[in-house]
Copies of this chain bind each other. A is one copy, B any other.
Amino acid sequence: VSKLRYSGSISLDGFAAGPDQSPEHPLGVGGRALHTWMKDLDAAQSGSSRLLEEDDTGVGALIMGRNMFGGGPGPWGEDPWQGWWGPNPPFHLPVFVLTHHPRPPLSCEGGTTFTFVTDGLEAARAQAEEAAGGQHVDICGGATVAKQYLAAGLLDEILLHLVPIFLGAGVRLFDDQAFATISLAQVFVVEAPGVTHLKYRVLR
């Protein structure tokens, strides 16, 4: 069965990004430290590396927010604005972009296609599931998007990369009172250098 999944790094104080996000600081001030653990992946067959390989198996489509595609006050709407990602984006999958601005689909080199969905979370999930053909759909960046799916009861799995840092401010991943009605099961925990990977399943 196709699952809708979110994975993302989070600081010990619960932030998925630091404060004052900008093109210069896409993860906010201090937010780059959320991804430091990834540098060690090539060096050794660490727990992280095996985990992430397994986790990438069977992803058929992605969902992202407009900011992740390339939002802000850029030349949105003026073809051929291709977002932040350039002519050959690193996704190589169908990507569904949540936005309020209708736009024709955009096909890029390397197999990435961006489809712009203006009719909400559920529609984007349905379209992505169909494109995924039975494989999983991952929310690719955008804690804000993940929160919306979780609050709407449309998220199946959460994989957190818990990083032992404090950001002090920024974008909290879990700050919605509506989450209090959601039950989770702990699926697995993997300790690795500078990070702990925690997988949870949302119970219906």
Chain A interface helix/strand/loop/mixed: mixed
State the Cβ distance, A187 to closest chain B Cβ, in Å. 9
**Which residues of chain B are within 8 angstroms of A165 by Cβ–Cβ distance?**
183-184
**Which residues of chain B are within 8 angstroms of A174 by Cβ–Cβ distance?**
12-14, 166
A149-195 residues at the B interface, CB under 8 angstroms: 162, 164-169, 172, 174-186, 188-189, 191, 194-195
A81 vs B149: C-alpha distance when bound (angstroms): 50
- With beta carbons under 8 angstroms apart, the residue of B169, B176, B185 that contacts A180 is B169
Binding site for B on A (CB under 8 A): 12-14, 30, 162, 164-169, 172, 174-186, 188-189, 191, 194-196, 198, 200
**Cross-chain pairs A/B with CB under 8 angstroms, 22 sampled:** A12-B184, A12-B200, A13-B174, A13-B175, A13-B179, A14-B172, A164-B186, A164-B200, A166-B179, A166-B180, A166-B182, A167-B180, A168-B176, A168-B177, A168-B179, A168-B180, A168-B181, A169-B177, A186-B191, A186-B194, A189-B196, A196-B196
